[in-house]
Structure 1
Amino acid sequence: MFLRQLTYLIALDQYRHFSRAAEHCGVSQPALSAAIRQLEHELGVTIVRRNRRMFGLTPEGERVLAWARQTVADLDSLRQEAAFAQDVAGGSISLGVMPPAIQVVPLLLESLRAAVPALHVEVTVFSSSDILRELREHRIQLGLMYLDQVPVDGAFETREMYAEQHVLAAAGGIVLPGRGACDWAAAASVPLCLLSRPMRSRQMVDACFREAGVSPSVMLETNALELLHSEVLSGRLATILPVAALPAGAPEGGPLQVRRLDPSPAPGVGLVRVKQTVATALMVRAWEIVSGLSLGEAFRF
């Protein structure tokens, strides 16, 4: 069994097509097919369901794929460990972040690069459930998400960074109830743009409105935080977002109006990684750095 066979299998699962997987790996389609057949022969199992085109992996193939991902990830960690031992100023980390926490990322990057100046970071936005899947499949190394969604099966390590707080926010042209704070019944009367219903942050908002016995006036729903920011900064609609997800810029009419919502859910948000027996020097250092950050006051109103 060779590493290239495992790499081909991972690419085949990603592209679900022999020719595209072969192109990705820089080999011919017959060469990739032959390598997969050789792997099946060596293991004594059928990995791929074949017809005129690929239709997926067999149950045995799914198990082999999981081992392939683990093996390739371990080898990448070994290579990074060797490179890091030679040059502690560099390295690479992949981070998955849920949309409401995207503006926390620059703070993380600032702290990481202060300790590892040439660090390369790949940041991808995922839902919390997708972050867990990507971590399990070793596609990312760190996740920033709601900690109460992390399974308690012992597979993950977590570090809380802050407790989330939802607020009502709008530009100066919209009249908001109250002064420093308001309740959910009052917030329901304001024209709102909110995150999409499948998103956990929105589900918490909906639960608060239901508990208050009111139906909000929702004019726009989207999974794009940038679109919500645009609507709020333009003065067209108000929004309810976690403090960490508020737009960083101020509208033309001055700073945003912000009202604390009482009571407000306060789920913990933090970093997650797969629990490993052996971690690279870079991951040990990165985990130490981010674990030392306390952002509780930064994202409270």
Structure 2
Amino acid sequence: MIDKLEMFIAVAQEGHFGRAAVRIGITQPSLSAGIKQLEEQLGVQLIFRGSRYGGLTPEGQATLVWARRIVGDARQLREEMRAKRHGLSGQLRIAAIPTALTWAARLCHRFNAKHPKVRFTILSRTSIEILSMLDNLEIDAGISYLDNEPMGRVSMEPLYEERYLLVCAKGARFAGREHVGWAEMAGEPLCLLTPDMQNRRIINRNFAAVEVTPEAWIESNSTVVLMATVEAGGWMTVLPEDAARFHASGKNVDLIPLIGSEPAHSVGLVAPWREPHTPVLESLLREARRLGGDA
């Protein structure tokens, strides 16, 4: 039944039989047959069907909760048995907000030095997408804000407190300053992360606190694009300190602390709450605790 529950989870997430089949690597007829067999085993209809996917029935919504729990437990069992036989190994899937990707790389490097049989996939996602991917078992852990939006029931390990720097080209208006106030950037040409990013919402609140509406002429979900735009000249951006220093290395830009902002926000590792965690995930949380303590 586990394989059929995984099919059901894929269909529920994709909202489309064809895409769900591609995602789990089977044919659409095989997927449809598996869902039908699951419905027969449970004695209820799980999905409204017409000419296309019509959503989950009330019984399907309840089954989805159980399916995630059962599939998660089954994966945990496999992980624990593999760890007992071979030590820590396997694949860890981690999604991080764009401004925390350097921390994701740092965490994985430290972890891999101790557990070389573990491989990693690191994805860049928004904070909302990270929570959804955790719920849908698409990732094993995420790196996101811990104190800005509702997290639900998750395990958390703080990594760092986010502080902001203004990034501008050498010779720009604010270049060489010891610090800049948020209010001073009124009317300045900015390139910022897109509004779906939680970092951007925090930045907007800092501007709103000093009654400034940021002039974001260029928006991107990539910090690489923001830094390249600044380096080209005529633009400025606001980035968390660690991301700003990483992207500024070797570039002709100035980094200037911003003052007068709201309290710093905590960023850390988040994982689905489970007691106990798989051996690999428990070790990752422990390594995040050490890394956060060293920050």
Cα distance in 2, alignment partners of residues 234 and 295 from structure 1: 37
User: Which one-letter code corresponds to 1:53 in the other structure?
Assistant: R
Partner of 2:125: 126
* Contact 1:96/1:144, CA 8 A, preserved across alignment: yes
Partner of 2:289: 291
Q: SS of the residue aligned with 1:55?
A: strand
5+ long unaligned stretches in structure 2: none
Partner of 1:165: 163
Deviations 1:175-220 (A, max 9, x none): 2167211211223353211112232222222222222233444321
Deviations 1:274-298 (A, max 9, x none): 221222211221111111113785x
Structure 1 window deviating more from structure 2 (24-33 vs 270-279): it is: 24-33
Deviations 1:239-262 (A, max 9, x none): 1111122162447774x3121111
Cα distance in 2, alignment partners of residues 131 and 104 from structure 1: 16
* Contact 1:233/1:250, CA 8 A, preserved across alignment: no
Cα distance in 2, alignment partners of residues 241 and 290 from structure 1: 22
Partner of 1:71: 70
Cα distance in 1, alignment partners of residues 206 and 57 from structure 2: 44
How do residues 1-301 of structure 1 correspond to structure 2 at under 5 angstroms? 2-19=1-18, 21-22=20-21, 29-149=28-148, 151=150, 155-176=153-174, 179-246=177-244, 248-250=246-248, 254=252, 256-265=253-262, 266-294=264-292
Deviations 1:146-165 (A, max 9, x none): 11145475x22211111100
User: Which one-letter code corresponds to 2:265 in the other structure?
Assistant: P
Query: How many angstroms does 1:69 deviate by?
Result: 2.5
Q: SS of the residue aligned with 2:89?
A: coil
The alpha-carbon distance between structure 1 residues 271 and 251, as it changes in their structure 2 partners (threshold 3 A), is closer
User: Which one-letter code corresponds to 1:260 in the other structure?
Assistant: P
Q: SS of the residue aligned with 1:192?
A: strand
Number of matched pairs: 294
Cα distance in 1, alignment partners of residues 35 and 86 from structure 2: 37
Cα distance in 2, alignment partners of residues 296 and 189 from structure 1: 39
Cα distance in 2, alignment partners of residues 27 and 119 from structure 1: 27
Cα distance in 1, alignment partners of residues 37 and 249 from structure 2: 62
Cα distance in 2, alignment partners of residues 259 and 136 from structure 1: 38
Q: SS of the residue aligned with 2:256?
A: strand
The alpha-carbon distance between structure 1 residues 273 and 18, as it changes in their structure 2 partners (threshold 3 A), is closer
The alpha-carbon distance between structure 1 residues 198 and 29, as it changes in their structure 2 partners (threshold 3 A), is closer
User: Which one-letter code corresponds to 1:156 in the other structure?
Assistant: V
Query: How many angstroms does 1:171 deviate by?
Result: 2.0
* Contact 1:168/1:187, CA 8 A, preserved across alignment: no
Deviations 1:22-66 (A, max 9, x none): 565565544443332232222222101112232222121122123
Cα distance in 2, alignment partners of residues 103 and 275 from structure 1: 25
5+ long unaligned stretches in structure 1: none
Cα distance in 2, alignment partners of residues 149 and 253 from structure 1: 32
Cα distance in 1, alignment partners of residues 212 and 29 from structure 2: 62
User: Which one-letter code corresponds to 1:114 in the other structure?
Assistant: A
Cα distance in 2, alignment partners of residues 25 and 252 from structure 1: 43
Query: How many angstroms does 1:13 deviate by?
Result: 2.6
* Contact 1:70/1:138, CA 8 A, preserved across alignment: no
Cα distance in 2, alignment partners of residues 235 and 251 from structure 1: 16
* Contact 1:191/1:237, CA 8 A, preserved across alignment: yes
Normalising by structure 2, report the TM-score.
0.88
Cα distance in 2, alignment partners of residues 223 and 22 from structure 1: 29
> Percent identity, aligned pairs only?
32
Cα distance in 1, alignment partners of residues 272 and 294 from structure 2: 24
RMSD: 2.5
User: Which one-letter code corresponds to 1:196 in the other structure?
Assistant: T
